[in-house]
Structure formats: C-alpha cells, structure tokens
Amino acid sequence: MTRHVRPLPALAVAAALLLAACASAAPTPSPGFTAPPATPGSASATPAAATATATTPPSTSSPTPVAPAGFSCSYPFVRAATSNAVVQVRNIRLGAHPIYDRIVFDLDGTGLPVVHLDRGTPPFTADPSGLPLEVAGTSFIVIRLDGAAGGGYATDGTPTYTGPRAFSPSYPRLVSLVEQGDFEAQFSWIAGFRGPVCYRVLTMADPTRLIVDFAAAG
C-alpha cells in the first residue's frame, strides 16, 4: 500500500523558514561570557563629555609688580633737564640701605641733565664702539643722563670723572654697575640686579647730587 504524505500548507512553510533564519543570525557567546546586568531605569549610559564641568585654565601671566611706598615700577622714566649746558659728572657713589640700594651721581654746578631710566635686555654693547659689554645680574636698568659728560665736553679738556668704569657691589639688590658710554653728551650706565626692581629719583644741593634708589619689586 502506498503511503501518501500530505503537503504542508504554504503558511506553515514560510513560518518554519523564518525561524531557521533567525536562529542562524543570532551571535554565539564566547566561552565563559556573562552578559552584563541591565541598569535599572536607563537604556544607555550618558557620555562623560556631556556631563563634564567646564574649567578655566590657570593664568600664566606674570603678576603686576608692587612698588614700595614712594617708589615706582613704571618704565621708562624721563625727567627733564634744568640746564641748557652740558652737566659735568664729578663722581659716582654706591650704597646699600635696608629696603633699597642707592646710586649717586655727584655733579658740578647747579644744573641737572635729562634723566632717563628704562629696562635693558642683554646682549649689551658699549657706546660708541659697539663692543660687547658684560653686566652681571638677572634684570637690568639702563640709566642715561642726556646733556651730561664725565670725560668729554670738559671746559678745559680735562675729564671730570676719573673713577671706575665698572662696579661689583654685590648688594642685596644691586650686583653690578657698568659704564655703557660717555659720548656726545650722553652719559649712560647699565645697572644689574638680582631680580625686578622699582625706583625713585631724588636730587640734593650743595653739592648737586642726582640720586637713584632701587627697591625690590613686591
């Protein structure tokens, strides 16, 4: 007797094929794999960048120097002359005080030259030769007296200043003072310090003295 096999309905065949396809597409876990537990009430984690708090980078600018009472840290400084004649420099003296170091220019007569102070940056050169000039220190101030002379422009041809052309006092602030030039009525010196300094400019009479004090910047 011949056994007849009833054909499956078309709908059943389609369902069977769909189940087989889904089973073959599912990933196979690696040995020892354990699925992580689901986070309650959350479908996905929030990216860290979305919750980060913005911060301001630290400032890299140098603090503003603080001047002691009676001093200024503002450069350049210019003080007008009180004489139309070339002022002769007689002597230069240095001194150390509790909060400042002092440079004194002893002058002939009663007139004062133009006083110019400004920060300087190595390398330095001599005036007018242009030769290299070594000045000890970590910060530098150029002191220039316009309309003044120590060697040139002397009334009788004899230099009025015959003292040292370089000083090495090693004071708490001032460590060196080097002549930069004495040429064409410009008498200039470079002062070297241990760090940033502020200044004050004073004058005294009988005899005439130009005084420049330097205190450490706070």
Local structure of 217: helix, strand or coil? coil
- Tell me whether residue 38 is in a domain: no
- Tell me whether residue 199 is in a domain: yes
The tens digit of pLDDT for each residue in 131-189 reads: 999 999 999 999 999 999 998 665 667 899 999 999 999 999 999 999 999 999 999 99
The tens digit of pLDDT for each residue in 15-34 reads: 444 434 444 444 434 333 33
Number of structural domains, the chain? 1
Residue 66 pLDDT = 87
DSSP string, 124-146: EE-BTT--EE---SSEEEEEEEE
Residue 157 pLDDT = 74
Contacts of 114 (CB under 8 A, 6+ apart): 78, 79, 80, 81, 145, 146, 147
- Tell me whether residue 145 is in a domain: yes
Residue 158 pLDDT = 86
- Tell me whether residue 62 is in a domain: no
Q: What is the mean pLDDT of residues 42-64?
A: 43
d(CA 128, CA 201): 27
CATH number of the domain at 87, please.
Answer: 2.60.40.3500
Residue 65 pLDDT = 78
The tens digit of pLDDT for each residue in 182-218 reads: 999 999 999 999 999 999 999 999 999 999 999 999 8
Instruction: Examine the pLDDT at 11 and tell me if it is beyond 70.
Output: no
Residue 218 pLDDT = 86
- Tell me whether residue 42 is in a domain: no
Of 2 and 62, the structure prediction assigns the larger pLDDT to: 62
Q: Which domain holds residue 129?
A: 77-216
- Tell me whether residue 51 is in a domain: no
- Tell me whether residue 192 is in a domain: yes
pTM of the model: 0.70
- Tell me whether residue 28 is in a domain: no
The tens digit of pLDDT for each residue in 63-84 reads: 667 899 999 999 999 999 998 9
Local structure of 84: helix, strand or coil? coil
The tens digit of pLDDT for each residue in 89-135 reads: 999 999 999 999 999 999 999 999 999 999 999 999 999 999 999 99
My answer on whether omega of the bond before 76 falls inside 30° of 0, hence cis, is yes
Local structure of 160: helix, strand or coil? coil
Q: What is the mean pLDDT of residues 44-54?
A: 36
